Amino acid sequence: GAGVSQSPRYKVAKRGQDVALRCDPISGHVSLFWYQQALGQGPEFLTYFQNEAQLDKSGLPSDRFFAERPEGSVSTLKIQRTQQEDSAVYLCASQKGGLSTEAFFGQGTRLTVV
C-alpha cells in the first residue's frame, strides 16, 4: 500500500477488556515500531521489530502489553485487561532500515478505556 495502515482508527473498550490493534507497514520495510501518545505529549516508544524479531520491548509499560509480528510484515499490539491509563493514541511506524532513514507513521488508533 501507499502508507502505513492502522486499524481500527478508534476503539472504545470497557475496563478489563482485551484489545488488539493492527498495523500494516509499508511493503518491504524491515523495521516496525509501536509508540504510545498521551494527550498533549510526544509519542513514547513501546517496542521495535526487525523483520519478525522483536529486538527491543523496553518501552512496554507492563506485562499486559504484548506485540507480535510473526511473518515480518503485519504487526499486532495486544493489551490485556485494559485500564483507564491505557487510553492514548497508539502509533505504528515502519522504515526501510538503518539509523539514517526516516520513519513513516500510520494515523494511529485512538483507544479510550471507559
Q: How far is the CB of 104 from other proteins (least distance, A)?
A: 7
Write the binding mask 39 to 78 for other proteins: x where contact by CB under 8 A, - elsewhere: --xxxxx--x-x----xx--x-------------------
Q: Tell how many helices (H) and how many strands (E) occur in the chain.
A: 0, 11
CB of 66 or CB of 104, closer to other proteins:
104
The answer to whether residue 112 forms part of the interface with other proteins (CB under 8 A) is: no
Torsions phi, psi for 108 (to 5 deg)? 90, 160
Write the binding mask 3 to 42 for other proteins: x where contact by CB under 8 A, - elsewhere: ----------------------------x-x-x-----xx
Give the residues lining the site for other proteins (CB under 8 A).
31, 33, 35, 41-45, 48, 50, 55-56, 59, 91, 93, 99-100, 102-108
